């Protein structure tokens, strides 16, 4: 079963075999018992739920699903973009890595290199922007770090490592990505060696390559 909440709407579908299968849709603001399926009345909500289900799903080889290979759409931007990411440091004292408090940001600046100029004394760092995928298809991402790190692609917790985390499942993942721009947020607390390497490999590549600043785009 899959269930998604979007504002006053809730989508539910069972025994899902593909990303195109429709959701039952309920307006839980007026139908808390979910007794009246209004999917046919709100086609735009149906489309949004189906798209979100793909953009939030992280395949797990331990628990394969029929829709694991569904292609994740790129986004369309009206404004121009430039090379790089936006970088913002944070005081992370007592806060869980995936939810840095936005009100404690101290500055915003462009990055010169994606992971350049890191120091163990740095606070938490957030990079935001878009990953530029040149060729549609399967892409494998792998994380190696001695710090705490979370990378979100769309609404997918793509790569994740935090102190004390034993499960290494989140150190690598393979996704089917459309060519174009995909929103990305990376949160990082440096470790003693300031080691942060993220590699990616398309199905057509001979070997993995480290993500570099040229692989990202940001809005001015």
Q: How confident is the model at residue 164 (pLDDT cuts 50, 70, 90)?
A: low
**For residue 20, which of 59, 41, 46, 58 has the smallest C-alpha distance?**
46
Mean pLDDT in residue range 5-11: 96
Q: How far, in Å, CA of 127 to CA of 204, rounded?
A: 28
Class of 82-218 in CATH: mainly beta
Q: What pLDDT was estimated at residue 111?
A: 45
Tens digit of each residue's pLDDT (9 = 90 or more) over 53-66: 999 999 998 899 99
Q: What pLDDT was estimated at residue 14?
A: 95
**CATH 2.60.120.1560 intervals, the chain:** 82-218
Q: How confident is the model at residue 136 (pLDDT cuts 50, 70, 90)?
A: very high
**For residue 85, which of 115, 105, 120 has the smallest C-alpha distance?**
115
**Is 0.75 surpassed by the pTM of this model?**
yes
**DSSP states along the chain:** -EEEEETTEEEEESS--STTPPPEEEETTT-TT-----GGG-HHHHHHHHHHHHHT----TTS--TTTTPPBPPB--SS--EES-EEEEE--TT--GGG--GGGB---EE-SSTT-S--TT--EEEEEEEEEE-S-EEEEEEEEESSEEEEEETTEEEEEE-TT----GGGEEEEEE-SEEEEEEEEEE--TT--EEEEEEETT-SS-EE--GGGEEE--
Q: How confident is the model at residue 39 (pLDDT cuts 50, 70, 90)?
A: very high
Q: What pLDDT was estimated at residue 37?
A: 98
């Amino acid at each position: 079963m899959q269930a998604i909440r979007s504002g006053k709407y809730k989508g539910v579908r069972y025994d899902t075999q593909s990303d195109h299968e429709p959701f039952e849709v309920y307006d839980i603001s007026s139908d808390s018992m979910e007794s009246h399926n209004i999917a046919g009345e709100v086609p735009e909500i149906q489309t949004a739920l189906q798209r979100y289900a793909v953009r939030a799903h992280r395949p797990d080889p331990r628990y394969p699903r029929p829709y694991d290979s569904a292609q994740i759409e790129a986004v369309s931007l009206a404004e121009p973009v430039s090379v790089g990411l936006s970088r913002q440091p944070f005081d992370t004292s007592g806060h869980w890595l995936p939810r840095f408090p936005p009100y404690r940001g101290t500055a915003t600046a462009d990055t010169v290199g994606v992971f350049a100029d890191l120091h163990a004394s740095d606070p938490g760092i957030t990079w935001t922007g878009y990953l530029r995928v040149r060729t549609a298809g399967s892409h494998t991402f792998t994380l190696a770090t001695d710090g705490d790190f979370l990378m979100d692609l769309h609404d997918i917790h793509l790569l994740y490592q935090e102190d004390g985390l034993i499960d290494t499942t989140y150190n690598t993942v393979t996704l089917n990505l459309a060519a174009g721009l995909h929103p990305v947020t990376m949160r990082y607390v440096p470790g003693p060696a300031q080691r942060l390497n993220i590699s990616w490999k398309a199905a057509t590549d001979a070997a993995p390559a480290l993500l570099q600043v040229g692989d990202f785009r940001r809005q001015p």
